[in-house]
Amino acid sequence: MSSVELGDITVNYACRGSGPPVVLLHGLAEDHQSWDGVTGYLGGFTVYALDLRGHGQTTAGEGTGTLSQLSGDLAAFLHDVTGPAAVVGYSLGGTIGLRAATEPDTLIGHLIAIATSSVVGSAAAEFFAGRIAQLEAGDTSGFAAGLRDDTAAQIVTPADVDAVTSRRLDAVGDGSGYINAARAMIGIRSEPLNPLLENVEVPVDIIGASDDVFCPRRASDIIVDGVTGSRYHEIAGAGHLISVDQPDAYGTLIARLLGERQSA
């Protein structure tokens, strides 16, 4: 493991391999270890798997609860550590990648956004607000039970839900990063990314899952419609937690898309 000081936070990340750089951004209530089933497919690349602000071993700093701050963290990592790179973002990570890709000076060379939304509806905003309230009230048992329910709903194949939940709780830690990121997601209800998508000029691939009720096909279609030249790909037999449901298909598809863009 390595770490780097970026502004007000210390970012923890794993680096492996050699070749063109690829930065992996996990989802809410995860850390860099959520990519363990994917990195083995990415031979030929230097792979950087980050812990996002306040998740895993990355410090929380002075969180502003905004997507612009989280995308700024990514921009700083690209600037200080990797230089121009492909970015693969899952869920929250995909939304961060999209926001960063709208900047005219972005160092993102290719973005893969997975199970990602560019706008948040009222039900999702209420969901995030409820989880924030539990953490702020110190209701750790209630939050843990809720996260287990959320995790179970995101998996459609047989899996050890308790083990997956335990890993996610470890990534959440004291909850400060979860609260900060959840507030950022709530913020895109009032300020959706959709009007900014026309500013994205880098190649974008969107990956969805056939049985994802948290981020259904419509969410991907909005991004595809908004980003000129973007492409949609779907993984069958998977819910929102694609890495749990279909790890082989997931890793294979990401590797193929990265390879295609490198050779284009």
What's the mean pLDDT in 11-36? 97
Q: Tens of pLDDT along 186-220?
A: 999 988 899 999 999 999 999 999 999 999 999 99
What is the model's pLDDT at position 260? 93
- The number of beta carbons lying within 10 Å of the beta carbon of residue 185 is 21
SS (H, E, C) 105-151: CCCEEEEEEECCCCCCCHHHHHHHHHHHHHHHCCCHHHHHHHHHHHH
Strands 204-209 and 85-90 come out as unpaired
Where residue 262 falls among pLDDT bands split at 50, 70, 90?
confident
Element (H, E) at 142: helix 140-153
Tell which residue, 21, 244, 246, 85, has the closest CA to residue 233: 246
Write down the mean pLDDT value for the chain: 96
pLDDT at 261: 84
Strand 46-50 relative to strand 9-16, pairing:
antiparallel
**Cα–Cα distance between 140 and 160 in angstroms, integer?**
21
Residue 123 has, within 13 A of its CA and on its CB side, a CA count of 3
Which position has the token pair 């279609």?
A: 221
Local confidence band at 116 (pLDDT 50, 70, 90 cut-offs): very high
Listed by start position, the domains of the chain span 2-263
Q: What is the mean pLDDT of residues 13-26?
A: 97
Instruction: Give me the percent of the chain exceeding a pLDDT of 70.
Output: 99
Please report the pLDDT score of residue 32 as a whole number.
Answer: 98
Report the C-alpha gap between 213 and 20 in whole angstroms: 34
**Cβ contacts of 29 within 8 Å, gap of 6 or more:** 55, 147, 168, 169, 171, 172, 178
pTM (predicted TM-score): 0.97
Q: What is the CATH number of domain 2-263?
A: 3.40.50.1820
Question: What are 220's strand-pairing partners?
Answer: none
Does the structure show a pLDDT above 70 at 182?
Answer: yes
209, β-bridge pairs: 235
As a whole number of angstroms, the distance between CA 194 and CA 98 comes to: 10
**Quick one: pLDDT at residue 264?**
63
Interval 58-108: pLDDT, tens: 999 999 999 999 999 999 999 999 999 999 999 999 999 999 999 999 999
